[in-house]
């Protein structure tokens, strides 16, 4: 799967150039006559055949176009920022599973912090990771990775959701038993390595979130969001 601007995908023939063309011709070594898919990341997918190859470029003819509509239920994961490359691993896994929106959350107990002078670079890494994982998993709709949020901004998301669940080990209710809405945003909140503080949990539940355990084991912050999203996506019919 490759990325192309929507204006290109509307043509009968177009050239895939730049980084995408370079990857296709030089890394993937795609040749004339092969089939490739190109998406704009917003639901439009063009099924193409390669008609010519040049260094760093492919000429493509569009065979068919299809549009993937927005899902009735969107899965939104507020992912507490975690240290090292585990944050990028979390983004990769959530993208492959099918999460629609990823929100970097500066929770109180985050070991890592996006300092103001490095925040843009850190966010860019998450966004590149999401885009590359979306192409790898052949998604026609790429996930949105928002800017970093603080607690108050997260509470606004929770208040506007059709359902919000805070993943919290040890609570009586299981995520698998929470009744899902027929439509709207389903927000899943994943805490940091040190867990969500009592004050954060109280604020989230006061805003309407339900505390729910994911399962019998405590997962890493890099995998909890993907596992929770997979459970919700399967239950709301998007993994049929």
pLDDT digits (tens, 9 = 90+) for 2-57: 999 999 999 999 999 999 999 999 889 999 999 999 999 999 999 999 999 999 99
CA separation (Å) from 156 to 35, 153, 159, 187, 230? Answer: 44, 5, 5, 11, 24
User: What's the pLDDT at 114?
Assistant: 87
As a whole number, mean pLDDT of residues 85-113 equals 94
The rounded Cα 38 to chain-centroid distance in angstroms is 19
User: What is the Cα–Cα distance from 46 to 4, expressed in whole angstroms?
Assistant: 9
Instruction: Give the residue from 138, 112, 144 showing the smallest Cα distance to 126.
Output: 144
As a whole-number percent, the residues of the chain with pLDDT over 90 amount to 85
Domains of the chain: 2-67 (2.40.240.20), 73-235 (3.40.1280.10)
Q: What is the mean pLDDT of the chain?
A: 94
pLDDT digits (tens, 9 = 90+) for 49-79: 999 999 999 999 999 999 999 999 999 999 9
Q: 154 and 197 in contact (C-beta within 8 Å)?
A: no
**pLDDT band at 203, cuts 50/70/90?**
very high
What is the dihedral angle through the alpha carbons of 129, 143, 104, 163, rounded to the nearest 10 degrees? -150
Rounded to whole angstroms, the Cα distance separating 107 from 61 reads 48
């Amino acid at each position: 799967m490759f990325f192309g601007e929507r204006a290109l995908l509307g043509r009968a023939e177009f050239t895939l150039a730049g980084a995408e063309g370079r990857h296709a011709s030089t890394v993937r070594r795609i040749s004339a006559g092969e089939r490739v898919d190109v998406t704009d990341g917003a639901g439009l997918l063009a099924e193409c055949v390669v008609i010519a190859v040049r260094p760093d470029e492919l000429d493509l003819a569009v065979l068919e176009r299809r549009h993937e509509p927005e899902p009735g239920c969107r899965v939104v994961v507020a992912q507490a920022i975690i240290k090292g490359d585990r944050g990028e691993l979390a983004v990769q896994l959530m993208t492959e599973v099918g999460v629609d929106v990823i929100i970097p959350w500066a929770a109180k107990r985050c070991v890592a912090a996006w300092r103001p002078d490095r925040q843009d670079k850190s966010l860019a890494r998450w966004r590149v990771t999401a885009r590359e994982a979306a192409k790898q998993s052949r998604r026609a709709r790429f996930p949105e990775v928002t800017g970093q949020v603080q607690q108050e901004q997260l509470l606004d998301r929770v208040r506007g959701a059709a359902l919000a669940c805070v993943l919290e080990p040890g609570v009586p209710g299981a995520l698998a038993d929470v009744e899902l809405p027929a439509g709207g945003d389903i927000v899943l909140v994943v805490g940091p390595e040190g867990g969500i503080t009592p004050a954060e949990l109280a604020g989230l539940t006061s805003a309407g979130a339900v505390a729910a355990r994911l399962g019998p084991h405590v997962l890493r912050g890099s995998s909890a969001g993907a596992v929770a999203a997979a459970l919700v996506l399967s239950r709301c019919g998007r993994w049929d």
